[in-house]
Protein backbone atom coordinates (compact mmCIF):
# COMPACT_ATOMS: atom_id res chain seq x y z
CA UNK A 1 0.00 0.00 0.00
CA UNK A 2 1.20 3.48 -0.85
CA UNK A 3 1.52 5.11 2.56
CA UNK A 4 0.90 8.53 1.00
CA UNK A 5 -2.66 7.33 0.43
CA UNK A 6 -3.01 5.84 3.91
CA UNK A 7 -5.79 7.58 5.79
CA UNK A 8 -5.27 7.78 9.54
CA UNK A 9 -8.16 9.20 11.52
CA UNK A 10 -7.64 10.50 15.05
CA UNK A 11 -10.31 10.08 17.72
CA UNK A 12 -10.31 11.36 21.26
CA UNK A 13 -11.12 8.90 24.03
CA UNK A 14 -12.67 9.39 27.47
CA UNK A 15 -9.14 9.05 28.86
CA UNK A 16 -7.35 12.42 28.53
CA UNK A 17 -4.01 10.59 28.32
CA UNK A 18 -5.01 8.30 25.43
CA UNK A 19 -5.78 8.82 21.75
CA UNK A 20 -7.14 6.37 19.19
CA UNK A 21 -5.74 6.19 15.64
CA UNK A 22 -7.94 4.44 13.09
CA UNK A 23 -6.29 3.16 9.93
CA UNK A 24 -8.80 3.23 7.09
CA UNK A 25 -8.77 0.13 4.85
CA UNK A 26 -5.97 -1.52 6.84
CA UNK A 27 -6.38 -4.66 8.94
CA UNK A 28 -3.84 -4.80 11.75
CA UNK A 29 -5.32 -7.90 13.41
CA UNK A 30 -8.08 -10.25 12.31
CA UNK A 31 -9.74 -10.21 15.75
CA UNK A 32 -9.19 -9.16 19.34
CA UNK A 33 -6.53 -6.86 20.62
CA UNK A 34 -3.08 -6.85 22.15
CA UNK A 35 -1.98 -4.46 24.86
CA UNK A 36 1.58 -3.39 25.61
CA UNK A 37 2.57 -1.48 28.74
CA UNK A 38 6.35 -1.64 28.48
CA UNK A 39 9.09 -1.86 25.88
CA UNK A 40 9.83 -5.43 26.92
CA UNK A 41 6.21 -6.49 26.43
CA UNK A 42 6.27 -4.89 22.97
CA UNK A 43 8.97 -7.28 21.74
CA UNK A 44 6.27 -9.58 20.33
CA UNK A 45 4.86 -6.84 18.13
CA UNK A 46 6.76 -4.98 15.39
CA UNK A 47 4.13 -2.23 15.48
CA UNK A 48 4.13 -1.88 19.27
CA UNK A 49 7.95 -1.72 19.27
CA UNK A 50 7.80 1.24 16.89
CA UNK A 51 5.14 2.97 19.00
CA UNK A 52 6.82 2.32 22.36
CA UNK A 53 10.06 3.79 20.99
CA UNK A 54 8.35 7.19 20.71
CA UNK A 55 9.42 9.34 23.69
CA UNK A 56 6.42 9.98 25.94
CA UNK A 57 4.46 6.83 24.97
CA UNK A 58 3.93 4.61 28.03
CA UNK A 59 1.44 2.11 26.57
CA UNK A 60 -0.26 1.12 23.36
CA UNK A 61 -2.97 -1.26 22.28
CA UNK A 62 -3.35 -2.73 18.81
CA UNK A 63 -6.87 -3.56 17.64
CA UNK A 64 -8.30 -4.80 14.37
CA UNK A 65 -7.89 -1.52 12.50
CA UNK A 66 -6.78 0.90 15.21
CA UNK A 67 -4.17 1.62 17.84
CA UNK A 68 -4.59 3.43 21.13
CA UNK A 69 -1.65 5.40 22.44
CA UNK A 70 -1.30 6.33 26.10
CA UNK A 71 1.10 9.11 26.98
CA UNK A 72 3.00 9.65 30.21
CA UNK A 73 3.38 12.94 32.07
CA UNK A 74 6.28 14.01 29.85
CA UNK A 75 4.38 13.29 26.62
CA UNK A 76 3.38 16.19 24.37
CA UNK A 77 0.39 15.37 22.13
CA UNK A 78 1.64 17.56 19.27
CA UNK A 79 4.94 15.66 19.08
CA UNK A 80 3.35 12.29 19.82
CA UNK A 81 0.71 12.74 17.13
CA UNK A 82 3.28 13.43 14.42
CA UNK A 83 5.58 10.58 15.49
CA UNK A 84 2.67 8.13 15.90
CA UNK A 85 1.47 8.82 12.37
CA UNK A 86 5.02 8.34 11.06
CA UNK A 87 5.38 5.03 12.95
CA UNK A 88 2.02 3.79 11.62
CA UNK A 89 3.01 4.62 8.04
CA UNK A 90 6.41 2.93 8.49
CA UNK A 91 4.72 -0.15 9.84
CA UNK A 92 2.21 -0.43 7.00
CA UNK A 93 5.01 0.09 4.44
CA UNK A 94 7.12 -2.64 6.09
CA UNK A 95 4.55 -5.38 5.44
CA UNK A 96 5.30 -6.91 8.86
CA UNK A 97 2.49 -8.32 10.99
CA UNK A 98 1.27 -5.90 13.64
CA UNK A 99 1.39 -8.51 16.38
CA UNK A 100 2.77 -12.03 16.63
CA UNK A 101 0.07 -14.70 17.02
CA UNK A 102 1.26 -15.40 20.60
CA UNK A 103 0.14 -11.93 21.73
CA UNK A 104 -3.48 -12.31 20.69
CA UNK A 105 -6.30 -12.04 23.22
CA UNK A 106 -7.82 -15.45 23.93
CA UNK A 107 -11.49 -16.26 23.35
CA UNK A 108 -13.48 -19.21 24.67
CA UNK A 109 -11.71 -22.57 24.58
CA UNK A 110 -12.84 -26.16 25.09
CA UNK A 111 -11.19 -26.27 28.53
CA UNK A 112 -13.29 -23.33 29.79
CA UNK A 113 -16.19 -24.02 32.14
CA UNK A 114 -19.71 -23.33 30.85
CA UNK A 115 -19.83 -20.11 32.89
CA UNK A 116 -16.45 -18.99 31.51
CA UNK A 117 -17.77 -19.60 27.98
CA UNK A 118 -20.94 -17.59 28.66
CA UNK A 119 -18.92 -14.70 30.13
CA UNK A 120 -16.47 -14.68 27.21
CA UNK A 121 -19.33 -14.77 24.71
CA UNK A 122 -21.00 -11.72 26.30
CA UNK A 123 -17.64 -9.94 26.47
CA UNK A 124 -16.79 -10.73 22.82
CA UNK A 125 -20.23 -10.00 21.36
CA UNK A 126 -21.56 -7.14 23.47
CA UNK A 127 -18.90 -5.44 25.55
CA UNK A 128 -15.59 -5.52 23.69
CA UNK A 129 -16.98 -3.93 20.48
CA UNK A 130 -18.48 -1.07 22.50
CA UNK A 131 -15.29 -0.52 24.52
CA UNK A 132 -13.18 -0.68 21.33
CA UNK A 133 -15.09 2.33 19.99
CA UNK A 134 -13.33 4.34 22.72
CA UNK A 135 -9.94 2.76 21.96
CA UNK A 136 -9.99 0.25 24.78
CA UNK A 137 -10.50 -3.40 25.50
CA UNK A 138 -11.43 -5.70 28.36
CA UNK A 139 -9.79 -9.08 28.75
CA UNK A 140 -11.18 -11.94 30.83
CA UNK A 141 -8.77 -13.26 33.45
CA UNK A 142 -10.98 -15.64 35.47
CA UNK A 143 -14.31 -16.29 37.17
CA UNK A 144 -14.09 -17.27 40.81
CA UNK A 145 -16.67 -17.33 43.64
CA UNK A 146 -19.15 -15.19 41.71
CA UNK A 147 -16.53 -12.60 40.73
CA UNK A 148 -15.35 -11.90 37.19
CA UNK A 149 -11.78 -10.59 37.05
CA UNK A 150 -10.92 -8.47 33.99
CA UNK A 151 -8.04 -6.44 32.67
CA UNK A 152 -8.90 -2.99 31.33
CA UNK A 153 -6.60 -2.18 28.40
CA UNK A 154 -5.84 0.55 25.91
CA UNK A 155 -7.54 3.83 26.65
CA UNK A 156 -9.57 2.12 29.42
CA UNK A 157 -6.49 1.57 31.55
CA UNK A 158 -6.23 4.50 33.95
CA UNK A 159 -9.26 6.27 32.48
CA UNK A 160 -11.30 8.34 34.94
CA UNK A 161 -14.48 6.83 33.42
CA UNK A 162 -13.32 3.21 33.69
CA UNK A 163 -14.97 2.60 37.07
CA UNK A 164 -18.33 3.72 35.70
CA UNK A 165 -17.81 1.61 32.57
CA UNK A 166 -16.90 -1.38 34.70
CA UNK A 167 -19.73 -1.16 37.23
CA UNK A 168 -22.61 0.39 35.29
CA UNK A 169 -21.85 -1.15 31.91
CA UNK A 170 -19.88 -4.36 32.08
CA UNK A 171 -21.07 -5.61 35.47
CA UNK A 172 -24.72 -4.82 34.75
CA UNK A 173 -24.61 -6.60 31.36
CA UNK A 174 -22.79 -9.67 32.71
CA UNK A 175 -25.16 -10.01 35.69
CA UNK A 176 -28.14 -9.89 33.32
CA UNK A 177 -26.69 -12.49 30.95
CA UNK A 178 -24.97 -14.80 33.46
CA UNK A 179 -26.89 -15.08 36.76
CA UNK A 180 -23.87 -16.62 38.53
CA UNK A 181 -21.99 -13.30 38.20
CA UNK A 182 -22.22 -11.22 41.38
CA UNK A 183 -19.45 -8.69 40.80
CA UNK A 184 -16.84 -7.59 38.24
CA UNK A 185 -13.39 -6.42 39.35
CA UNK A 186 -10.63 -4.85 37.26
CA UNK A 187 -7.11 -6.10 37.90
Tens of pLDDT, residues 37-90: 889 989 989 999 999 999 999 999 998 899 999 999 988 999 999 999 999 999
Reported pTM: 0.74
Indicate the pLDDT class of residue 98, thresholds 50, 70 and 90.
Answer: very high
pLDDT at 70: 92
Identify whether the C-beta of residue 135 lies closer than 8 Å to the C-beta of residue 142.
Answer: no
Indicate the pLDDT class of residue 105, thresholds 50, 70 and 90.
Answer: very low
Thinking of the domain 8-103, which architecture would CATH place it in?
2-Layer Sandwich (3.30)
Q: Whole-angstrom Cα distance, residue 184 to residue 174?
A: 8
| Superfamily (CATH) of domain 114-186 | Fe-S cluster assembly (FSCA) (3.30.300.130)
Amino acid sequence: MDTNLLEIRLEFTPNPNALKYILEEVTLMERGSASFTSKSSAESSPLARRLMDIPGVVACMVGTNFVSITKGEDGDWEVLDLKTREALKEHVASGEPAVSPLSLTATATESDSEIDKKIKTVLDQDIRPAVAMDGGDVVFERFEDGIVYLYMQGSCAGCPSSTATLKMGIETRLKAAVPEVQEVIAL
